[in-house]
Amino acid sequence: MNCSLRIDLQLFADPDKTEKATPRKRQKAREEGQVPVSREFISGISFLAVSIVFMYVGKSLLDSLINGTQTVFQLSDLDLGSLDDLIFFTYQSFSSTFTYLMFIIFAAALISLAIGLLQTKFLFTAKTLTPDLKRLNPISGLKRMFSLRALFELAKALIKLVIIGFVGYSVIKGNYERIMITVDSAMIDGSLVIWDVLTELIIKCAIALLIVSIVDYYYSKYEYEKSFKMTKQEVKEEFKEIEGNPELKSRQRQVMMQYAMHRMMQEVPEASVVITNPTHFACALKYDPDENFAPILIAKGADRIALRIIDIARDNDVPIVRNPRLAREIYYNTEIGNVIPENLYKAVAEVLAYVFTLRENRERI
């Protein structure tokens, strides 16, 4: 079994597919009904669960079968008028047997359904039922028949057969003398021995199949993850589809920044004052008592942008005040379009008072 796994991975593993499947690819695969499912795991768990049910119901089933058989064989020709009467009496004799059998079958179906839903995380899709004409291609069919996957399934079936055969042989061998005694025993005594042996056989086979199914379950998950791995290029392409082309988004951000910068520079001529550092930082404030209770930062910049703000301010006769500490505080603590922080009110008020005083003196002259 291990050898089969190694061969499978060596031949089907794509060396370029080194990245795990992205959540988007997993979601698409799930929508298509492609989820890791181990039928062996479903059958193994179901068989074990049904075996446990059989342990509790099987004794009653066996008793009803014995009683029904005895009842049928005790009938005489006088009790039966026709074939219909025989069928009716037979049905009545084995009615409880049929009830127990239906209960076991229903339990098996319900448990299988529950395990399947848990494996697929309650996936419901009709896409897997859509006819695929490609599967009718005889060449593709031959490839599937003689693929390593088919060989692996064959090896798995043979291993299951060997395990069940070994378990059955060991149980029968261990109870051989008890079984032989039943030949000379009464029907009830013999049936009890057969019941004990059958119960032991079913439980041990169920445990053996469960072990095989757990191995198959983890292998199915591993094979699923392996088949859905992606190349680095595929991951990049998917990222582009989700987030957009990085180069295009970078260009868009650049255009938006240029547009925002242009609008900001257009606001500088309307500033009441520009506070500088003197050249590393520049913050343009606008104060209109009729519109705002505090000055608003309408433009700010560092280095080259600061020099541009200063040049525009000079060209439009906007007062420029050098206050390095205040310029840094405004630059780092205030966003464009917001009023200045409350802790800077006093310092900014002193600057504005100085600016307004200069303006009044200039107007008087």
Per-residue pLDDT at 4: 36
Per-residue pLDDT at 247: 66
Give mean pLDDT, residues 27-41: 70
**Which residues touch 291 (CB under 8 Å, ≥6 apart)?**
none
> Would you say 330 and 300 are in contact if contact means Cβ atoms under 8 Å apart?
yes
For a pLDDT cut of 70, what percent of the chain falls above it? Answer: 74
Q: How far is CA 314 from the centre of its chain?
A: 61
pLDDT in tens, 304-360: 888 989 899 889 988 888 998 999 999 998 888 888 888 888 888 888 888 888 877
pLDDT of residue 149 exceeding 80, the answer is: no
**Res. 261 pLDDT band, cuts 50 70 90:** confident
Per-residue pLDDT at 133: 55
Kind and range of the H or E run holding 297: strand 296-302
Q: Are strands 17-19 and 281-286 parallel, antiparallel or unpaired?
A: unpaired
**Res. 10 pLDDT band, cuts 50 70 90:** very low
> How far is the C-alpha of 155 from the C-alpha of 148, rounded, in Å?
10
> How far is the C-alpha of 91 from the C-alpha of 69, rounded, in Å?
11
pLDDT in tens, 346-362: 888 888 888 888 877 77
The residues facing 243 across adjacent strands are none
The domains of the chain, with CATH numbers, are 2-241 (no CATH), 267-364 (3.40.1690.10)
Look up residue 80 and give its two tokens.
Answer: 């039966």
Per-residue pLDDT at 9: 38
pLDDT in tens, 197-252: 888 888 888 888 888 888 888 887 787 777 777 777 777 777 666 665 566 667 77
**Res. 75 pLDDT band, cuts 50 70 90:** low
**Res. 96 pLDDT band, cuts 50 70 90:** confident
**Res. 8 pLDDT band, cuts 50 70 90:** very low
Per-residue pLDDT at 147: 63
pLDDT of residue 55 exceeding 60, the answer is: yes
- Mean pLDDT is lowest, of 5-19, 25-39, 62-76, 271-285, for 5-19
pLDDT in tens, 11-30: 344 556 667 776 677 777 66
Look up residue 194 and give its two tokens.
Answer: 């057969």
Look up residue 253 and give its two tokens.
Answer: 């951000």
Per-residue pLDDT at 3: 39
Q: Are strands 273-276 and 320-322 parallel, antiparallel or unpaired?
A: parallel
Per-residue pLDDT at 242: 61
> Would you say 119 and 112 are in contact if contact means Cβ atoms under 8 Å apart?
no
Look up residue 281 and give its two tokens.
Answer: 């930082």
| φ and ψ at residue 230, rounded to 5 degrees | -125, 155
What 8-state DSSP symbol labels residue 130?
Answer: S
> How far is the C-alpha of 296 from the C-alpha of 352, rounded, in Å?
12
Give mean pLDDT, residues 267-294: 85
Give mean pLDDT, residues 50-75: 76
Using the CB atoms, write b or e for 120-156: b if 16+ within 10 Å: eeeeeeeeeeeeeeeeeeeeeeeeeeeeeeeebeeeb
What 8-state DSSP symbol labels residue 186?
Answer: -
**Which residues touch 80 (CB under 8 Å, ≥6 apart)?**
86, 89
> How far is the C-alpha of 52 from the C-alpha of 206, rounded, in Å?
9
The model's pTM is: 0.45
Per-residue pLDDT at 219: 80
Look up residue 44 and give its two tokens.
Answer: 């193994």
- What's the whole-number average pLDDT of the chain? 76
